[in-house]
Amino acid sequence: MEIHRYEKIWLAGALLLIVGFIATVSYGAVGAGIEMINDEGGQVDSTALDEHPKFSEPGTYKTGPNEYDVYVIAKQFLYEPGTSEPIRVPANSRVTFHVTSADVIHGYEIVGTNANTMAVPGQVSTMTVEFNEPRKYGLLCNEYCGSAHHAMEGSIQVVPQSEWNETMVVN
């Protein structure tokens, strides 16, 4: 088959684009350390979260120097904690969120950032992020979850290290 020389050029260009896309995503996973959220969080009984050792009292738990676990329950139409009072974490810390749902599928998106996961009933989604500067982040649900989905939001307060105290550990 005879291929026109221009067609060879743009076939090569298209192949280069595909290889480039795959290479950049591979770089993100290997070089930049971007992780995908998977099923490592394990499963829970969504009807018995109050019997769970952590989800029975969701909030921030210290797990090491500058390392914290935050357990969050999403339910129609709030985050617990997050909506009635902000999730509090100290600045310059490494925080792992454990998010699950008590009823239907919700979203858990830290607004304007790359931190975003689904909250699935019966499944725990875990994601680790690093908070640097003290500031406030918004939280929102990005999976349609019912009539008040649009009002389902919350916030994360990154507290300066100097103001952080142990009473903030469990909200």
Partner 1 sequence: MPAESNTETGEVATPAGDGTGETGTPVPDTESIDDEGFVIGSGRSGVVRQLGHDDFDPVGTLVLIAIYMVIVGAMWIFMYFVEFLGGDLTVIG
3-state secondary structure (DSSP) of residue 79 = strand
- Give the contact letters, 127-166, x = binds to partner 1 (CB under 8 A), - = no: xxxxx-----x-----------------------------
Gyration radius of the chain's alpha carbons: 21
88 closest CA partner among 1, 170, 24: 170
Residues 6+ positions from 169 with CB-CB distance below 8 Å: 59, 60, 61, 62, 68
Least CB distance to partner 1 at residue 16 (A): 8
Q: Which helix (H) or strand (E) holds 94?
A: strand 93-101
- Residue from 4, 18, 30, 165 touching partner 1 (CB under 8 A): that is 4
- Give the contact letters, 31-50, x = binds to partner 1 (CB under 8 A), - = no: -xxxxxx-------------
Residue closer to partner 1 by CB (options 35, 57) is 35
Stretch of residues binding partner 1 (CB under 8 A), selected from 28-36, 45-53, 98-106, 162-170: 28-36
- Euclidean distance between CA atoms 90 and 17, whole angstroms: 42
Q: Is 96 in the site for partner 1 (CB under 8 A)?
A: yes
125 closest CA partner among 13, 10, 43: 43
Size of the site for partner 1 (CB under 8 A): 32
* Binding-site ranges for partner 1 (CB under 8 A): 2, 4-6, 9-10, 13, 17, 20-21, 24-25, 28, 32-37, 96, 110, 112-115, 126-131, 137
